[in-house]
Structure 1
């Protein structure tokens, strides 16, 4: 029997259960013993076992089925998304943005509502007003416009992915514009106008292309800076 003494106990219990799964004690699809049995084996309370199971369920390893028990649904421990983002280089992050936003732009062209277009128009106008503002304000206004496009795609997964990237992208964007500003801020804003017009005109391929062109240029500038 493995007795756990270090804190936090729930983390230690989760690690112990994961190790036993990795060792093949419980195969894919196998049902785990009950909380009482696991608590006795690990030398912890049932509430600690319950929390450990919740942790592993959140990582996609276990699944609690009402009235049936807890089952192994994956043998792979998927790395925490925030940890992946912290480790990733900024160019990789922008490449991910490119993939998300180019598809979001095409979907927005097909799905945008009048309310979506009004939101995009206001955000774009605000971006134009802040071209010569402090860099942080301009970056935030630019982000708000791109967020409005992703929102207009009406795809919750794309929106969640976009939002998860922003905290990682923002500092790099501020640094980039401070060190290597766009060759022409007015030309850059005009490219955003073209993107908006493609979405407003329901021209999906044109919107996708405009988004890829704009973010592709950003990727090149970041790569040159690296």
Structure 2
């Protein structure tokens, strides 16, 4: 399970937003027709339509059947992903610290056998790569371990927030751990304890252990 990247539609939506902000497209302007947009952005029809749908939901564009698509607002709020990317890392860690115990407790209640298999797979990879001193692979396995717990929690919004913050934290792993896996070896046991608490459907224990991991109490 790789950390997800932006879709083509999201990239097109971002490009359109940039055009609106820079007054390439003003309020009341009609966007070029689909074939022209496809050519401009080098994507297929489905990506263009999805991008327009994204911006229509945000109240930036209005689609008038048989007439065209019009810019109706420049009141563009940054996406959660963009805001987190710009945030200070201590702010990102604070968000994670508020979420971890809650997510772990919910995962203990809602996890499926398939969820457990995925969590265990990344737990084992984390251990393997740490022992082999394969730093980047170890960091990725650790992130995927926690994301798989978030996916098991049964709350789509919590999972998405956690996924986005994890992308930012992965970058700090790469810059702050200096290609070293010692701390991951040290914390493998407590991560195993977290897995077992979820396996045993013990939400209180899962929440407690998740908080200890956040506080780096190994």
TM-score above 0.5: yes
Within the alignment, does 1:149 sit opposite 2:149 as a pair? yes
Q: Which has the larger radius of gyration?
A: 1
- Match runs of 1:1-226 below 5 Å: 11=20, 16-17=26-27, 38=28, 57-60=56-59, 77-132=76-131, 133-178=133-178, 184-217=183-216
Q: Supply the distance in 2 between the matched residues of 1:45 and 1:174 (Cα, whole angstroms).
A: 41
Q: Supply the distance in 2 between the matched residues of 1:147 and 1:105 (Cα, whole angstroms).
A: 11
Q: Supply the distance in 2 between the matched residues of 1:106 and 1:65 (Cα, whole angstroms).
A: 46
- Which segment is superposed worse, 157-166 or 141-150? 157-166
Give, in angstroms, the shift of residue 87 of structure 1.
Answer: 1.7
Which ranges of 4 or more aligned residues in structure 1 deviate by more than 3 Å? Answer: 12-17, 44-48, 51-66, 74-77, 179-182, 184-187
* Alignment gaps of 5+ in structure 2: 1-15, 35-47
Figure out how many residues of one structure are paired with residues of the other and give that number.
185
**Alpha-carbon contact 2:25-2:31 (below 8 Å) kept:** no
**Alpha-carbon contact 2:56-2:62 (below 8 Å) kept:** yes
**Alpha-carbon contact 1:60-1:78 (below 8 Å) kept:** no
Give the TM-score normalised by structure 1: 0.64
**Alpha-carbon contact 1:14-1:53 (below 8 Å) kept:** no
- Three-state SS of the structure 2 residue aligned to 1:161 is helix
Give, in angstroms, the shift of residue 185 of structure 1.
Answer: 4.0
**Alpha-carbon contact 2:108-2:202 (below 8 Å) kept:** yes
Give the TM-score normalised by structure 2: 0.66
Q: Supply the distance in 2 between the matched residues of 1:151 and 1:45 (Cα, whole angstroms).
A: 38
In 2 relative to 1, CA 196–64 (structure 1 residues): closer, same or farther, beyond 3 Å?
Answer: same
**Alpha-carbon contact 2:103-2:150 (below 8 Å) kept:** yes
- Three-state SS of the structure 2 residue aligned to 1:130 is helix
In 2 relative to 1, CA 179–90 (structure 1 residues): closer, same or farther, beyond 3 Å?
Answer: farther
* Alignment gaps of 5+ in structure 1: 1-7, 18-37, 219-226
Q: Please tell me the root mean square deviation across aligned C-alpha atoms, in Å.
A: 4.0
Give, in angstroms, the shift of residue 86 of structure 1.
Answer: 2.6
